């Protein structure tokens, strides 16, 4: 199998898309040749059978130049791939779908987002296969959809020993871009209840992630004003962006992970937390079935600060044996989301459906 991958970024140091580097490595194990076209390219260390091409974002190229480079690459490399895997950007299929059909390429789209727009509707008509993590992460009805779970490098996040609370401080992390949809404000409201109503002072909250636009910057400023209002500066820290390959050490040092994204795609940071044997409280109902034995403890019913504070409090006071039992359950539950299993299943799907694969 010779595969063309289209993605937003190839950069092992990227805080959001750094995981894609691992996906490409895994694809390379199953493919004779892998060609990657990315909007932007940074540092990477990939196998010899992988070729990386950039549309030019890191060079400051114009959008017109992106399109010119796109068509140049898919034409020039057309004999080097028999299948196409588009990661999260249906616009690539809008631009390339018809040429790929004419060249008899098998085209697949990975899409995990609650948003359904015109680009996605057009792409659905042009692709042969759609991959998504769960029913909640693909809201467009289509017979082409395959529900795959997610792909996490379990070994990368594995923690050898169960950790104890460090220096009697209960460490909480929230990993993800700081933005309105991530709802870090709800966590701050819950911490206000814990600190100023329950008088729980031995907690520290690290918000890991940066802003990607001016709206996010405004949101961060709003959060900092709220922290000042509640006198929580000694309890909540903004750590900014952290390269994906360095994020493991933050999971290792934490006692609890929080993720307050709405119901939709299965956020990888939740699965990474589980892979690190770390309890994680979520609002996304897509995780209810995965966390089923502990869903009452870990899944929020609504965006309510009091409910979140109560769940955090219950986890803080867990006995060591209860915590070990919970962590072991999470680690066992996340095994089915292995990147090894995911990529093999995807490549097998291409092979079954594409008679022209060599």
Domain ranges in the chain are: 2-151+338-353, 156-336
Residues 6+ apart with CB under 8 A from 261: 176, 181, 182, 183, 267, 282, 283, 284
Give the pLDDT band of residue 192 (cuts 50, 70, 90): very high
Average pLDDT of the residues of the chain? 93
Phi, psi for 209 (deg, rounded to 5): 145, 155
Pair 253, 124: CB distance under 8 Å: no
DSSP 8-state class, residue 116: -
Question: Percent of the chain scored above 70 by pLDDT?
Answer: 96
**What does the pLDDT average to over 181-194?**
97
Mark out the alpha helices in the chain (DSSP H runs).
19-30, 63-76, 91-102, 118-126, 154-157, 184-196, 214-229, 248-253, 268-275, 295-298, 305-316, 320-333, 339-353
Q: What is the mean pLDDT of residues 244-262?
A: 93
R_g over Cα of the chain: 21
Domain 2-151+338-353 has CATH 3.20.20.80: no
Report d(CA 117, CA 316) in Å as an integer. Answer: 42
Q: What is the mean pLDDT of residues 268-291?
A: 93
Residue 166: per-residue pLDDT:
54
pLDDT of 30 strictly over 90: yes
Domain 156-336, architecture per CATH: 3-Layer(aba) Sandwich (3.40)
Residue 278 pLDDT > 60, yes or no? yes
If we measure between CA atoms, which residue out of 184, 279, 273, 175 comes closest to residue 232? Answer: 184
Give the residue carrying structure tokens 């001016």. 214
Compute φ and ψ for 262, nearest 5 degrees.
-70, 170
Give the pTM: 0.85
The Cα–Cα gap between 121 and 100 comes to 18
With bands split at pLDDT 50, 70 and 90, how would you rate the model's confidence at 113? confident
Dihedral sign computed on CA atoms, order 76, 78, 81, 83? positive
Mean pLDDT of 194-214: 96
When pLDDT is cut at 50, 70 and 90, the band that residue 16 belongs to is confident
| DSSP H helices in 158-302 | 184-196, 214-229, 248-253, 268-275, 295-298
Give the residue-averaged pLDDT of 15-28: 94
pLDDT at 162 over 60: no
Angle (CA) 236 240 243, round 5°: 130
pLDDT exceeds cutoff 70 at 290 = yes
Q: How confident is the model at residue 271 (pLDDT cuts 50, 70, 90)?
A: very high
Please tell me what DSSP assigns to residue 247: T
Q: Is the dihedral of CA 11, 17, 19, 24 positive or negative?
A: negative
CB 128 within 8 A of CB 353: yes
Predicted local distance difference test score (pLDDT) of residue 237: 97
Q: What is the pLDDT of residue 114?
A: 80
pLDDT at 164 over 60: no
Is it true that 2-151+338-353 and 156-336 share their CATH fold?
Answer: yes
Q: Mean pLDDT throughout 183-191?
A: 98
Confidence at 339, pLDDT banded by 50, 70, 90: very high
Give the Cα separation of 90 and 78 in Å (integer): 19
Percent of the chain with pLDDT over 90: 83
Q: Kindly state the average pLDDT of the residues 226-242.
A: 97
Neighbours of 2 (CB within 10 A): 18
Q: What is the mean pLDDT of residues 262-274?
A: 88
Asked if 297 contacts 330 with a C-beta cutoff of 8 angstroms, the reply is no
pLDDT, position 263: 84
In sequence order, which ranges of 127-165 are alpha helices (DSSP H)? Answer: 154-157
Looking at residue 183, what is its pLDDT? Answer: 96
7-21, 100-114, 145-159: segment of lowest average pLDDT: 145-159
- pLDDT value, residue 135: 82
Is the model's pLDDT at 20 over the cut of 70? yes
* Sheet strand arrangement including 256-259: 236-240, 203-208, 170-175, 256-259, 280-282
């Amino acid at each position: 199998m010779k595969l063309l991958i289209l993605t937003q970024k190839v950069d092992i140091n990227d805080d959001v898309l750094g995981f894609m580097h691992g996906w490409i490595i895994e694809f390379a194990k199953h493919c004779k040749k892998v060609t990657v076209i990315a909007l932007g390219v940074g540092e990477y260390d990939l196998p010899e059978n992988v070729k990386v091409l950039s549309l030019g974002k890191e060079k400051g190229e114009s959008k017109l130049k992106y399109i010119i480079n796109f068509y140049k690459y898919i034409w020039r490399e057309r004999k080097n791939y028999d299948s196409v895997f588009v990661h999260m950007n249906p616009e690539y299929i809008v631009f390339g779908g018809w040429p790929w059909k004419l060249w008899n390429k098998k085209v697949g789209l990975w899409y995990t987002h609650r948003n359904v727009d015109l680009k996605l509707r057009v792409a659905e008509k042009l692709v042969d296969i759609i991959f998504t993590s769960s029913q909640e992460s693909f809201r467009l009805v289509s017979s082409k959809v395959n529900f795959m779970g997610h792909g996490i490098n379990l070994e990368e996040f594995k923690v050898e020993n169960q950790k104890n609370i460090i220096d009697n401080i209960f460490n909480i992390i929230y990993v993800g871009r700081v933005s309105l949809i991530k709802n870090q404000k709800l966590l701050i409201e819950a911490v206000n209840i814990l600190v100023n109503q329950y008088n729980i002072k031995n907690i520290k909250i690290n918000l890991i992630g940066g802003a990607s636009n001016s709206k996010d910057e405004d949101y961060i400023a709003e959060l900092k004003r709220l922290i000042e209002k509640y006198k929580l500066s000694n309890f909540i820290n903004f750590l900014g962006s952290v390269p994906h390959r360095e994020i493991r050490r933050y999971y290792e040092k934490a006692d609890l992970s929080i993720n307050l994204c709405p119901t939709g795609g299965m956020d990888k940071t939740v699965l990474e937390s589980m892979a690190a044997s770390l309890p994680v409280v979520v609002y996304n109902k897509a995780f209810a079935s995965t966390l089923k034995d502990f869903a009452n403890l870990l899944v929020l019913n609504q965006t309510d600060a009091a409910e979140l504070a109560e769940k955090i409090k219950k986890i803080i006071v867990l006995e060591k044996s209860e915590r070990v039992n919970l962590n072991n359950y999470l680690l066992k539950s996340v095994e089915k989301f292995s990147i090894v299993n995911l990529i093999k299943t995807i490549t097998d799907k291409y092979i079954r459906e594409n008679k022209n694969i060599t």
